[in-house]
Structure 1
Amino acid sequence: MKVQNIGDDITLIDLFDLGLENRTGAYVLHEKELTIIETSASPSVPYLLKGLESLGIDPKDVKNIIVTHIHLDHSGGVGLFLEHCPKAKVFVHPRGKRHLQDPSRLIASAKTVYGEEQFQKLFDPILPVPEDQLVVKEDLETLQVGDDRVLTFYHTPGHANHHFCIHDSKSNGIFTGDTIGVFYSMLLDSDLEFYLPSTSPNQFDPDKMLESCERIEALNVSKIFFGHFGMSEHPEEVYKQLKYWLDIFVDQGKAVVKEHGSLPFEEKSKLLSDRLYSTLQDYLKKKHISEDHQVHEYLKIDMGICAQGIIDYLQKAENR
């Protein structure tokens, strides 16, 4: 169990997504309207419940559950968690509401990608959220959760069209889900800040991602709270690295499509995944990060997913 007080009456609970620490987190806002941001997938819910227990919080007191988007590593467990939070409302992007209310398409899609056995291990069960507990938040709408804490919702496509970010007035921070990437916070022990874009399928769009990044930049936030994983107090470094690596990711995708355009999607994705990971290996080696550092396990997983999103985007662009 990993629970961390990160200031401004916010606690980060490690949800051990995929059985990995520092992978996916839930944020607890300790206010009159007790608020949880992100739940991860259902296998992570026991970690969330244990984290709340360690904080002396009864789930029955949770008033608000917010999911930044409906990818299963962020919202797959919300229906299961809600069974423990009968008074709570679930806040979601307008494009995500119907999928939380009826997750059948999410389930079918996950089973197609992962197969029945892996689906059971990684995501099961995915439970529907009752309509009367679902609340849509439109762009720029707000939610008052405490006397001096207002949350403002910003629609931020790029990673997914059903994504919003949440600005927090108390910390002047923003909960960004996957919009401006992944924070490999385990590298801080090696004195390295490392941020990469998250380009998973099937709604990745680099232009929209940059527009969303610029929108966040314009807010002049002091902190960024990542879905994966933890808090950064250096927003300008986040924006710089996102833009730098996004160009590289897309350019390498274009090179793979140009060189191997006739290959099936899966093979092109594998070639791109290998190329991206090799590029990151070289970069980290120059930063004196050993080949056996745990970050490499995370990068292999993430580049496999990122490559699929980039190839999917490029193939759709060809057909437009």
Structure 2
Amino acid sequence: MNIAHRSSEHDADSPGIVTVDTGFQRPIFDAAYLLVERGRAAFVDCGTQHSIPALLAALDAQGLTPSDVDWLILTHVHLDHAGGAGALMQRLPNARLVVHPRGAPHMIDPSRLVAGATAVYGEEEMARSYGEIVPVPAERVVIAADGHVVDLAGRPLLCVDTPGHARHHLCVWDQRSRGWFTGDTFGLSYREFDSPRGPFVLPTSSPVQFEPEPLKASIRALLARDPAWVFLTHYGRVGDVQRLGAELIEQIDAMVSMARQAHAAGGDRHASLTAALADYYAARAAAHGSPLDDAQVRAALAIDVELNAQGLAVWLDRAG
């Protein structure tokens, strides 16, 4: 597989699929996908408002215009996936937005989403990382219940309810490529961790709706179709899907065990859990043969360790 996916690069053996680097936070970190079928197009996820030039450039590179886009499909409404949806829809005159039933209200009226994120990040960081969060007119929103099929010029794209990372999460099955567009359900796989064994993967349990048993069930549902590929938002197309799925389920169980141990031990639960997670992922990366050394692994995963620890803590407190 290719180590770096450049904007507007077709994935070999994945017909009509272009990986677009949205530029969120750093290169090769946050992807959207452009699907092209008989002169019509769909985006899966879109990054932030700042990502719009890259998305439009990807269209142009395929000889398409914004009016050729029929669909913007969101895997879920976390801002690194969907923050630019409203602003992008203003540029796509014929497109409709496809979103999980639980996510649709937040796209039509994003005020609660904005308020929550602003409380965490502050106004300055919100503007820097995400730009303006623009509402999507209700009449342009298509609610995708489990089993909803999007028709892209005769190419069916099946939307499947996949809770666990978030309750408003769906994944998209493309029979043509035998690939899933997985958002965050199938975890994170950063290309700099690739080794001769292939891609390295870890789950994302970021706050606030992480639920381990639903997430494992969602992963098993994805594996049941025996996909050739998964198309990750973080980052790019990866194969060896059955191995990765098994590793994700193993890690979710280990993360839950670490969270419970940190809770039972008392003291600074968050500090104990972040230390345990960092050690665990570093050991797995070393066993995988990652080209990064221990310090580089810990630095690359520092934000994910923090978010995973927070999500596990929210789940612990909710579970009681």
TM-score between the two structures when normalised by the length of structure 2: 0.91
Contact 1:22/1:186 (8 A) holds in 2: no
Partner of 1:156: 162
Question: For 1:228, what is the secondary structure of its paired residue?
Answer: coil
Q: Which residue does 2:245 correspond to in 1?
A: 239
| Residue 77 of structure 2 is aligned to residue 76 of structure 1 | no
- Partner Cα distance (2:133, 2:21) in 1: 20
Residue identity opposite 1:252 in structure 2: M
Partner of 2:292: 290
8 Å CA contact 2:226, 2:242 repeated in 1: no
Deviations 1:28-68 (A, max 9, x none): 11114311101012222222223333333322221100000
Once the two structures are TM-superposed, the CA of residue 273 in structure 1 deviates from its matched residue by 2.1
**Count of residue correspondences:** 311
* 1:294-305 map, 5 Å: 296-305=298-307
Larger mean CA deviation between 287-296 and 33-42 belongs to 287-296
For structure 2, which runs of at least 5 residues remain unmatched after alignment? 1-5
**Which residue of 2 is the match for residue 259 of structure 1?**
265
- List per-residue Cα deviations over 1:54-113 (Å, max 9, x = no partner): 333322221100000001111011111112111110000011111000000000000111
Q: Give the corresponding residue for 1:317.
A: 319
CA displacement 1:232-287 (0-9 Å, x = unmatched):
22110121110121112111111111113x65xxxx33442232112222332342
**Alpha carbon RMSD of aligned pairs, Å?**
1.9
Structure 2 distance, partners of 1:205, 1:121, is 30
Instruction: Give the AA of the match of 2:61.
Output: S
Counterpart residue identity of residue 95, structure 1: R
Aligned to 1:113: 120
The answer to whether the aligner puts 1:4 opposite 2:9 as a matched pair is: yes
Structure 1 length-normalised TM = 0.91
Moved more, 287-296 or 200-209: 287-296
**Conservation of the 8 A alpha-carbon contact between 1:270 and 1:304:** no
Partner residue of 1:39? 46
In structure 2, C-alpha distance between the alignment counterparts of 1:101 and 1:15, rounded to whole Å:
23
SS of corresponding position for 1:198: coil
Moved more, 34-43 or 292-301: 292-301
CA positional deviation for 1:192: 4.0
Q: Is the 8 A contact 2:231 2:237 kept in 1?
A: yes
Partners of 1:161 and 1:183 in 2: CA distance: 22
For residues 86-125 of structure 1, the aligned pairs below 5 Å read 86-125=93-132
The alpha-carbon deviation at position 12 of structure 1 amounts to 0.5
> Structure 1 residues 95 and 288 mapped into 2: Cα distance closer, same or farther (>3 Å)?
closer
1:52-201 matches, within 5 Å, as: 52-147=59-154, 149-188=155-194, 191-201=197-207
1:4 and 1:220 map into 2 onto residues whose CA distance is 25
Q: Give, in angstroms, the shift of residue 177 of structure 1.
A: 0.7
Per the alignment, do residues 226 and 316 of structure 1 end up closer, same or farther by CA in structure 2, a change over 3 Å counting? same
- Corresponding residue to 2:232 among 212, 226, 232: 226
Q: Determine if contact 1:256/1:272 at 8 Å carries over to the other structure.
A: yes
Query: How many angstroms apart in 2 are the aligned matches of 1:190 and 1:77?
Result: 36
How far is 1:25 from its partner? 0.7
Q: Tell me, in whole angstroms, the C-alpha distance in 1 between the residues paired with 2:271 and 2:118.
A: 20
- Using the alignment, how far apart are the partners of 1:298 and 1:90 within structure 2? 33
